[in-house]
Amino acid sequence: MDHLKSAVELFVRTKAKLDPRHEYGICVLQETSTWFLSFTSNVELFVEKLRTLSVKGDFKKFEMASLFDAIAAKRVLPDVTDRSGSIPYVVRMLFIYGRSAVIPNEGRLQNQTHPVIAHPAFYYDALYLHEKPSDTNNPQAVYDFITSFEPDEQLQKFSFFFECSSNVARLYKNMAALLAHARQRKHQTLHASGLDYLSKPSL
């Protein structure tokens, strides 16, 4: 957890140096998702809240739809209904999941695309931190579920998916790759060529 918080802090501080207008928020995952910190450009406030996070509870399920519902409730996605088709800014969700024995469920989605995912200004990336497979852990099934929410590539909305077990260096390398702006990066296989990353790799 300490390495993860350090990697996220470095990510946010770097993004803020690139553009101080960036805003960041935190949702915590229990059986559903709840807001812990609303969107803010105050990096020090974000870091302060980040450092207080800890693993609490032993949750046996997680409803993925609640995470997209949380984004929708903030009403932060821009209106792109005008004829120009321009997108003034994007909202990117970095889904960091660390449960090896709990495969998330779709909840009320039931194989339907959530309106947030379909929004042209929304981008979905994921970093999966997992333990090794065992009688109780099924990280491959969890990873397959996480990557099943990739947007339609016809919209040129490319998601980045990474996984990491116990390799701290790989954790930081993954976070560095995620620094790329969502609308300025290529498909993951092209962007990360030479880094031994594959698009939606198997564990």
pLDDT (tens digit per residue) in 91-145: 999 999 999 999 999 877 766 788 898 888 999 999 999 999 999 999 999 999 9
pLDDT band at 1 (very low <50, low <70, confident <90, very high): confident
How confident is the model over 25-42, as pLDDT tens digits? 999 999 999 999 999 999
Write 57-62 long-range contacts (CB < 8 A, 24+).
Answer: 57/30, 59/29, 59/30, 59/31, 59/99, 59/102, 60/31, 60/102, 61/31, 61/102, 61/104, 61/105, 62/29, 62/30, 62/31, 62/32, 62/97, 62/99, 62/102, 62/104, 62/105
- CB contact at 8 A, 93 and 133: no
* 182 or 127, greater pLDDT: 127
Pairing of strands 91-97, 122-129: parallel
Task: Give the pLDDT score at 190.
Answer: 54
pTM score, whole prediction: 0.87
Structure tokens belonging to residue 157: 């909305």
Question: Which whole number is the average pLDDT over 159-175?
Answer: 91
- Give the span between the Cα atoms of 19 and 45, in whole angstroms: 17
Structure tokens belonging to residue 74: 């903030």
